[in-house]
Amino acid sequence: MEARFSAGLWVFANPVDRFCPAGYSHPMSVVDQIESAAKVEGLEAVECHQTDTDEMSVHQLQKALADNGLVCSNVNVNVWGEKRWKLGAFSSSDEKLRSAAVAEGKRAVDVARELGSPSIGLWLGSDGFDYPFQVNFTRQWANLVKSIREVAEFAAPDIKVGIEYKLKEPRTHMTIGSIGKALSICLELGMENVGVVIDFGHALMSRENPGESVAYLARHKKLFNIHLNDCYGEWDDDMIPGTIHFWETLEFLYYCQQTGYNGWLGLDMFPFREDGVKAAEMAIRNIKAIIRLLEKIDVSALLKAQETMDSVETQEIVRRVIFS
């Protein structure tokens, strides 16, 4: 399995929380974030947001990446970081606001094309609801799918659109809260350039087995991008991969390998109190070590044991690799 590592610029951006709005380190400009990313051994690419070009031109962003030996693997659409999006963006009942959100999606496509990135990401953090009867679900879903279609048509045929699902936060319920909902949008649209992004922690939050989620999407050739991290399952902790759910991470990467995923392995972490560079380097070391374990698994023996669903034998096959 070829491992190509990318990281969200936010890993190096002094992430903040509601208890310490100024963050636990010092402010970092986009250029600062890029320079920090360049210090991470084994990191070849970064993910950004279209709003990163608010403080610099796309040309300046491209130059900063090139000067630091990095490329852009994905441009994410930020339609949640301003107060105007507080009640939704792609699914908003306000047509003018919804059009503005779609325009931001198209802007991300333009940025991706200029940077040579193959894809954009749609994590629609403000699209959802908080209270019963707050929204008209029928209308909300119609607006959402229509907006995604418009952006995807603008992106076709050269730019992929990856839909990233998450159960909750910042809304108590996000509209695209599970792998099933994300895939249903892809199947409804029937567009080759629309697929899904699996965030490992988001899958755990939705009570999914992340490895199964990979296999599920692979059946439809809809796994477009991966975000690696870890969490305890109740919240989007965005911790260093492999530190909490080691076995599940091993299985996740096993299915990436078995299904032929050849995209980027993206680091999506929020090291609130840790050094971002050190956290990213540990993440890469952890993932590489897990991949080395994968190479030692007797796949034929495992597949044979899985035919009878012998849990003791399947565990033993993997256990020998881990504890040898």
The tens digit of pLDDT for each residue in 237-291 reads 999 999 999 999 999 999 999 999 999 999 999 999 999 999 999 999 999 999 9
In 3D space, the residue among 32, 76, 229 whose CA is nearest the CA of residue 13 turns out to be: 32
Can you name the residues that pair with 173 across neighbouring β-strands?
129
User: Which residue matches tokens 């749609």?
Assistant: 122
Token duo for residue 281 = 């380097």
For residues 167, 237, 52, 58, the Cα torsion angle rounded to the nearest 10 degrees is -90
Helix, strand and coil percent figures for the chain, each rounded to 5: 45, 15, 40
Strand partners, 169: none
Please give the Cα distance from 264 to 45 (Å, whole number).
9
**For residue 195, what are the β-bridge partners?**
162
Mean pLDDT of all residues in 24-28: 93
User: What pLDDT is attached to residue 165?
Assistant: 99
Q: Which amino acid is at 140?
A: Q
pLDDT tens digits for 138-147?
999 999 999 9
- Residue-wise pLDDT for 44-95, tens only, equals 999 999 999 998 999 999 999 999 999 999 999 999 999 999 999 999 999 9
Query: Can you read off the two tokens belonging to residue 111?
Result: 């940025």
pLDDT for 310 beyond 90? yes
| Percent of the chain predicted with pLDDT > 90 | 99
Please tell me the predicted confidence (pLDDT) of residue 251.
99
Q: What is the phi-psi region of residue 127: left when phi exceeds 0, alpha when psi lies from -120 to 50, beta otherwise?
A: beta
The bridge status of strand 128-129 relative to strand 265-267 is unpaired
- pLDDT class for 34, splitting at 50, 70, 90? very high
What pLDDT does residue 14 have?
A: 92
5-296: CATH topology is TIM Barrel (3.20.20)
Rg for the chain (alpha carbons), in Å? 20
Q: Considering only 13-17, 41-45, 85-89, which range has the smallest mean pLDDT?
A: 13-17
With pLDDT > 70 as the criterion, what percentage of the chain qualifies?
A: 100
Q: How far is CA 21 from CA 15, 83, 164, in A?
A: 9, 16, 25
Q: Which of 143, 129, 211, 198 is nearest to 166 (CA)?
A: 198
pTM of the model: 0.97
Alpha carbon dihedral 6, 7, 9, 10, in 10-degree steps, equals 160
With cut-offs at 50, 70 and 90, classify the pLDDT of residue 2: confident
Q: Which residues contact 136 (CB under 8 A, 6 or more apart)?
A: 93
Please state the length of the chain: 324
